[in-house]
Structure 1
Amino acid sequence: MAEVTAADSPTAQIMKTLGAGSGINITELAQNLTDVDKAPRQEKIDAAVAATEAKISAYGLISYQVSLLQSAFEALNDADELATNTASSNDPAVSLNSVDGTSEAGSHIIEVTQLALEQRVKSAEYSTSTTSLNSGSAFDIAFAVGATSTTSSTVTVEVDTPEGVVSAINDADMGITASLIDTGIAGANYRIVLSGATGSEGAFSVSSTPDLGFATPANSLQSAQDASLEFNGLAVTRSSNEVSDLITGATLTLNAVTSSAARLTVSSDKSTLKTGIENVVTVYNDFRDIMDTFVKAPQEDVEFSGALQRDLAVARHVMEQVRTSLFDDSSTASGDITGLRDIGVSVDQKGRLTFDEDDYDSAIADDYDDVVMMLTANTSDQNLYGTAAKGLAQDIATTLESLTDSDSLLATREASAEVALEDYQEQLEELELRMAAVYDRYLGQFATMESMVERLNGTREYLEGQLESLSKAYDN
């Protein structure tokens, strides 16, 4: 609401226009008296508004800093992401792919003597894709899959055409795929080609009436076989050319038979973990500095200083929760590594975190696996809601999440402060209304006074006139 001023009053304008009365500027006097009444009340409300706005800002900044700290720990909660591993091969016949953080640095020798292959067979020749194969009647195809352990299945072909055979086999989803190939040879354009899974156990046999030609020896295109290789001097066979169980955290792709032994090298860069720990220290210290600003006595030119001096319970609660979580033992302590204190993180006399690189480097060199277990429980892709042990990083992140969620003490206090701020705004509006009434009352009283003074002035002027007339009469 706009502030009431002397110039706004119709009575004041009339008094000014007439120039009558005592000669006192009653509009200014009324405004001054109103301001005297209003000032201490408005100052009190304005101070409450400023303090409440500062608290709201403080709560918001605390939530933001806690969220930053939560993110810093979530960056440390996956074992695969604590180290960046790279891989190389000196022979294109073997690729080393999909290397994650669990791979150990080292070199490996591999020699591939045979690739894994799938069985492929073709059918008899057909002139069209819709040639009738069984005089329009449905028929069954029997399959036996496996070399040492056989699985039998039957596929019913409802539409007795090459297209119908392909659709029926693929719809059965039994690990054998069918395709219809147009060879481009006039009069014998179409062949059905069946393919199984790679590896010797993907071998299959086919029989049917009518005979589709799959069992004819001349129609065999390729036999199923396992990959054969020598890995670090050990003879190995695998059913696939994608091998993921020889090097931890890495997948080998066998592209061709090697002409000589190939060397595979895994290199590990653990700087990601160190950078993450340093970031935790930095973010926590920023959080600590902000909290100190909020709880200490207000300082000139320091924004929000002392904002929570009247709400120290909240500040102390948040600080205690954060500090305790940082120095709790891990739920998955391993060996001599139980918490952050064992990897170079400590607290100085001012309550700030410090990071000792020598202690950290020593722990990583001697107990890297224990450090990973302590932080991550040796797991990846973690979340807040799992029930299994998560490691210290996710334990802390979960605690920090609870400090900023919608039911937290911070959120509750911020909501209460927002309500209080609305109440103070209403009080200011009510004060303006009351002061407008006070101003009108003063102005009305002064207008009455002016009227009385004017009448007295009139009487005085009349008496002065009469006395002057009498004086002139006596003089004559």
Structure 2
Amino acid sequence: MAGSASISGLSSGLDTASIIEQFMQLEAAPQTRLKSRLTSEKSVLTTLQSLNTKVAALATSAAALLKPAAWNAVTATSSEAKVAVSAATTAGPGSFSLRVDQTALSHRLEMATAVGASTAGTVPTTVRLDRLDGTPAVDLATDGTLNGLVKAINDPANATGLRATAVKVGTDQYRLVVEAATTGAAGDFTLTDAVGSTDLLGGATVRSGRDAQVTVGDSVVATSSSNTFADLVPGVTVTLADGTAGGTTSQVVLARDPAATTSAVKALVDAVNSALADIDSASRTGSGTRGPLAGDTGVRSVRDQLLNSVFPGDGTTLADLGIQTDRSGRLVLDEKALRKAYDTDPAALQARLTTPGTGFVDRVRAAAVTASDRVTGTLTTAITGRTATIDRLDDNVEAWDLRLELRRTALTRQFTALETALNQMSSQSSWLAGQLSSLSTGS
């Protein structure tokens, strides 16, 4: 380029640089068409990938709704605010009475003697911790001060499982309170001097750790090291508020939760409609802007399969369950009709929606899997094909870059040669004119 610019029009008066650029624009027309197609293919690929992600998520959601646990949702309520209950999907309907016998407490020592926080020699330089659970005692190194002992007990590196606090009771006078980090009878411990025989700081007032205990019904006793009773009955967790008085009673009721089931089905219907809307937008035809997937029969087949999932295939419909299609090709859900079917016979509703081959949820799952399977899915196959096409177009564009560069070099050489030749001819013409002029003068 620098060479052509330096000799452009030197002898011919032509703007050879502009002429070369015009030639190159003509030469690059095929590459421009390739780049345009490449941009279009990438747009299609992005749309297919987005749609495939949404349909794959739909398959996952439908598969989750096919599991029995998804239809066993129950709500758990307690007649006593201090007795909290929660139910997992494994819980079933029922009820039981519960009496709180005692809440869980942590083991705690309140040392009798008050000392200065930083006064040396007030505590042994080695304090022995015995957890009383059969594990070996641990010797904690201190600097001989109360602050040093507190630091040693609370140091995560020592893994004592205790919390120590120096409580101010007078001018530079502190009493040590040490408490197990967790509740339960198994958290008992003692603190003594290094040989394990001398009481520390004048001995301690002891609050023994204890397990929480409740009685279910009249005689079934359950204990827990904390105030939480996990799976007290299958799928049900009971948590007691700290300080709940012994003798507190509660009636726990586990009832089916139709709202959860209705919400789950509605979420699936909404997900199907969202996928249908994306397909319609991407495959839009007619007047206006065409969608990137317009005319793609594979994508239209995915739409048909998703929409047809509402038809069991045995000549019946799901209209009595509140699930049907509208004129715009979308699914509609009458939540009141679905709730009525649930209240009438929840097991029958579950069967009609989840039965393999005919159930709405199973048909949605099958249609979504057919479209998004990682190997054989309709959308996956289309993505693979488009990706291969884009790779090929990228290679072609790169090949054209080299071809055009060679063509530009050739044109530059040709015009440079032209200017050089014209310059030489101009020089020769001037010399001949001078020679002829001298001949005339001499004669």
TM-score (norm 2): 0.58
Q: Does 1:74 align with 2:63?
A: yes
CA distance in 2 between partners of 1:49 and 1:299 (Å): 24
Structure 1 residues 466 and 52: CA distance shift in structure 2, 3 A: same
Deviation per CA, 1:304-339, whole angstroms, max 9, x where unpaired? x522235x1211221222223343259xx9xxxx76
- Provide the C-alpha distance between the structure 1 equivalents of 2:425 and 2:250, rounded to a whole number of angstroms: 122
Give the match for residue 436 of structure 1. Answer: 405
Inter-CA distance 457–278: structure 2 relative to 1 (3 Å threshold): same
The answer to whether residue 309 in structure 2 is matched with residue 325 in structure 1 is: yes
Q: Does 1:63 align with 2:52?
A: yes
1:43 matched residue in structure 2? 32
Q: Does 1:409 align with 2:378?
A: yes
Q: Deviations over 1:142-198 (max 9, x none)?
A: xxxxxxxxxxxxxxxxxxxxxxxxxxxxxxxxxxxxxxxxxxxxxxxxxxxxxxxxx
Which of 349, 371, 376 pairs up with 1:371? 349
1:392-411 deviation line (CA, Å, top 9, x unaligned)? 43453244223212222322
Counterpart for residue 202 of structure 1: none
CA distance in 1, matches of 2:91, 2:401: 69
> How far apart, in 1, do the equivalents of 2:390 and 2:303 lie?
26
Gaps of 5+ in 2: 100-214, 224-232, 239-245
Which of 316, 321, 325 aligns to 1:343? It is: 321
Q: CA deviation at 1:351?
A: 0.5
For the residues of structure 2 that align with 1:471 and 1:252, how far apart are their CA atoms?
Answer: 125
Q: Deviation at 1:63? A: 0.9
The aligned counterpart of 1:160 is none
The separation in 1 between residues aligned to 2:250 and 2:442, in whole angstroms, is 145
Secondary structure, counterpart of 2:78 in structure 1: strand
Q: Given the alignment, which residue of 391, 399, 404 partners 1:422?
A: 391
Change (3 A) 1:292 1:60: same
Across the two proteins, how many residue pairs are aligned to each other? 313
SS of the counterpart of 1:354? Answer: strand
CA distance in 2, matches of 1:339, 1:104: 30
Shift of 1:25: 2.9
Question: What SS is found at the alignment partner of 1:265?
Answer: strand
Matching residue's letter, 1:361? R
SS in 1 for 2:92: coil
2:270 paired residue among 256, 276, 282: 282
Shift, 1:60, TM fit: 0.6
Q: For the Cα contact (< 8 Å) 1:72–1:276, is it kept in 2?
A: no
Please, which runs of 5 or more residues in structure 1 have no aligned partner?
A: 1-5, 112-226, 231-236, 243-247, 378-387
- Equivalent residue for 1:116? none
CA distance in 1, matches of 2:425, 2:216: 127
1:445 is aligned to 414
- Checking the alignment, whether the CA contact within 8 Å between 2:96 and 2:253 is kept in structure 1 is yes
1:308 to 280, 283, 293: 293
Corresponding residue to 1:269 among 236, 249, 257:
257
Match of 1:33 in 2: 23
From 369, 387, 397, the counterpart of 2:365: 397
What does 1:89-108 align with in structure 2 at a 5 Å threshold? 100=89, 103-104=92-93
2:442 paired with 1:457: no
User: Residues 252 and 469 from structure 1, CA distance in 2 versus in 1: closer, same or farther, beyond 3 angstroms?
Assistant: closer
Cα contact 1:66–1:404 (8 A) shared by 2:
yes
Q: Does the aligned pair in 2 maintain the 1:328–1:339 contact within 8 Å?
A: yes
Distance 1:392 1:432, change over 3 A: same
Task: Please give the alpha-carbon distance, in whole angstroms, between the structure 1 residues aligned to 2:417 and 2:85.
Answer: 101
Q: Distance in 2 between matches of 1:66 and 1:436?
A: 45
- 1:79–1:102 contact (8 Å) kept in structure 2: no
Distance 1:25 1:91 in 2: 92
Alpha-carbon deviation of 1:451? 3.0
Q: Per-residue deviation at 1:282?
A: 2.1
Distance 1:252 1:43 in 2: 67
Match of 2:333 in 1: 355
How far apart are 1:459 and its partner, in Å? 3.5
Alignment match of 2:279 (pick from 282, 291, 299): 291
The AA in structure 2 aligned to 1:306 is G
Are residues 43 and 297 of structure 1, via their aligned partners in 2, closer, same or farther at CA, if it must alter by over 3 Å? Answer: farther
Determine the C-alpha separation between the residues in 2 that align with 1:108 and 1:432: 79
1:85 corresponds in structure 2 to: 75
Q: Which amino acid aligns with 2:14?
A: I
Distance of 2:216 and 2:437 partners within structure 1: 142
**Superposed CA offset, 1:65-102 (max 9, x none):** 2123223323422343343321436699x998866476
Amino acid at match of 1:15: I
Superimposed CA distance per residue, residues 383-432 of structure 1 (whole angstroms, 9 cap, x where no aligned partner): xxxxx899543453244223212222322221121121111111111112
Q: 1:458 to 1:316 in 2, by over 3 A?
A: same
**Is residue 81–residue 101 contact of structure 1 (8 Å, CA) maintained in 2?**
no
